[in-house]
């Protein structure tokens, strides 16, 4: 099942929004020696794994927000960049 939780990212500092993620996840990869690596987690660990895998796939958590929340997030992101 999915869990809704606040999520933020160093790529967009200071901005936190509710983001839906799986409550459990399992990721399979390969280490530098070519050996299979399996990591899995529940709740916050599942959120963390999915968040980082999204980065590897070229996505930010903002891409996963509900449409109305994403619209607000993008506006707030633009405003925070303009203030700098």
What residues are annotated to the active site?
A: 52
- Cβ neighbors of 47 (< 8 A, separation 6 or more) are 3, 5, 7, 21
Q: Which two tokens stand for residue 50?
A: 């999915």
CA atoms of 62 and 40, how far apart (whole Å):
23
């Amino acid at each position: 099942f999915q869990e809704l939780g606040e999520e933020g990212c160093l790529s967009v500092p200071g901005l936190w929004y509710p983001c839906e993620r799986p409550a459990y996840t399992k990721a399979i990869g390969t280490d530098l020696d070519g050996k299979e690596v399996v990591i899995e987690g529940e709740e916050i660990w599942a959120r963390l794994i999915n968040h980082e895998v999204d980065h590897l796939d070229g996505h930010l958590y903002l891409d996963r927000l509900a449409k109305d929340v994403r619209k607000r997030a993008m506006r707030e992101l633009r405003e925070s960049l303009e203030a700098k």
